[in-house]
A = this chain, B = another copy of it.
């Protein structure tokens, strides 16, 4: 047997994000665009866009900044708020994963 764990954040009972949604934000930042980020995760642009709009509304804060033009041709970057949220969530998710694996070994294999 294996133990599995899923962590997510909610606001007023509504999903803000779990790891899947954060992977979308990471993919957008890596690729520099919502459409490429969505493609990387095999998600439709429409779905990615509507998710992002819903979350920004729930949080009352923008998550992405669209940089136009420039020598690097622009791109989509995270707001400082979103970057902090992403880092904190990954930390919490990782620590929880480590905790549960160690507790599982202790409790189930003692």
A residues sitting closer than 8 Å to B (CB atoms) are: 1-11, 16, 88, 91-92, 95-96, 99-100, 103-104, 107-108
Contacts and interface: CB of A to CB of B under 8 A. Distances in A.
Contact of A100 (B4, B92, B107): B92
Contacts of A99: 96, 99
B2 A11 contact: yes
Given A92-B107, A100-B96, A107-B91, A9 B1 contact: yes
Given A1-B10, A5-B6, A6-B6, 10 more contacts: A2-B9, A3-B7, A3-B8, A4-B8, A5-B5, A7-B100, A88-B108, A91-B107, A92-B104, A96-B103
A95 B108 CA distance: 13
Contacts of A5: 5-8, 96
A65 B3 CA distance: 26
Contacts of A88: 107-108
A84 to B, nearest CB: 10
A86 to B, nearest CB: 12
